[in-house]
């Protein structure tokens, strides 16, 4: 069975979604993973986007949170203040699914600036949007992003969204009761949060990937669990649904 590293990552990330989850979805790779879950093993998952769409079932992946596809296929659309105050801060969302430009071993995310200081960065990114609130108010956080030493760093350049803090203790010290980052899926492996140290450790390695590759593409001294398994390869159902979704999306967005 032939598949790409990106397909492996998307499928592995999708598998973490449960059928009864209420999931706050980020644009990009998180959106692909969540909608793949909806199209395969979790048809009853409730997907929520920042624009206020609840229970949306897009036929193609949205370009942004304002994509009409989200509102057209939603059960309902509420005002953004209601989305954040009632649904998110009210504790009604079980999972937040996020990506980032940079992260550290404690699951802190940077989507603001890279290089230099805030006023004169090498790269200015789109910013946090709703991610800072999602990171603290959802029941737990799943992260998906491609793994490289540029993105997986020892110290992020800007803390946009709180994981477990700079030492792994700040989240609890601030009185935040939600679980925080619990799972990280990359194109090389799956990491889960150590319950004591609050740092990501490798628990599953994708087929054909070595521990050396993972270490080379991580900017901190990566740890491996005592028992590390091999991630099951994508099956025909998963690949078929993902490829069909991507093909529909490409046709719908051609020239945009």
Q: 144: which residues sit within 8 A by CB, 6+ positions away?
A: 9, 10, 13, 29, 30, 33, 97, 98, 99, 184, 185, 186
Q: What is the DSSP letter of 64?
A: S
Contact 7, 28 (CB under 8 A): no
Dihedral angle of Cα 200, 201, 203, 204, to the nearest 10 degrees: 80
Strand partners, 98: 143
Which secondary-structure segment (H or E) carries 215?
Answer: helix 211-216
* Closest to 126 (Cα-Cα) out of 114, 116, 111: 111
| Residue among 50, 69, 133, 238 flagged as catalytic | 50
Place of tokens 């740092």: 199
Has 133 been annotated as catalytic? no
Write out the catalytic residue numbers: 50
């Amino acid at each position: 069975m032939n598949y790409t590293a990106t397909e492996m990552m998307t499928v592995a990330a999708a598998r973490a979604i449960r059928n009864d989850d209420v999931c706050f979805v980020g644009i990009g790779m998180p959106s692909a993973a969540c909608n793949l879950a909806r199209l395969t093993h979790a048809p009853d998952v409730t997907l929520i986007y920042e624009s206020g769409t609840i229970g949306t079932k897009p036929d193609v992946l949205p370009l942004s949170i304002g994509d009409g596809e989200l509102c057209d296929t939603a059960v309902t659309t509420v005002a953004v203040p209601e989305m954040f105050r009632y649904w998110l801060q009210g504790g009604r969302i079980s999972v937040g699914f996020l990506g980032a430009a940079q992260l550290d071993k404690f699951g802190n995310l940077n989507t603001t600036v890279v290089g230099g200081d805030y006023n004169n960065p090498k790269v200015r990114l789109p910013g946090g949007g709703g991610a800072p609130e999602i990171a603290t108010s959802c029941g737990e956080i799943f992260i998906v992003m491609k793994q490289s030493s540029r993105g997986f760093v020892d110290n992020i350049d800007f803390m946009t969204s709180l994981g477990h803090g700079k030492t792994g203790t700040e989240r609890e010290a601030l009185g935040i009761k939600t679980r925080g980052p619990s799972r990280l899926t990359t194109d090389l492996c799956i990491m889960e949060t150590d319950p004591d140290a609050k740092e990501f450790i490798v628990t599953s390695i994708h087929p054909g990937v070595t521990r050396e590759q993972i270490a080379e593409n991580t900017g901190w001294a990566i740890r491996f669990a005592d028992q590390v398994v091999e991630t099951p390869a994508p099956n025909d159902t998963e690949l078929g649904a993902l490829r069909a979704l991507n093909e529909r999306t490409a046709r719908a967005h051609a020239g945009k």
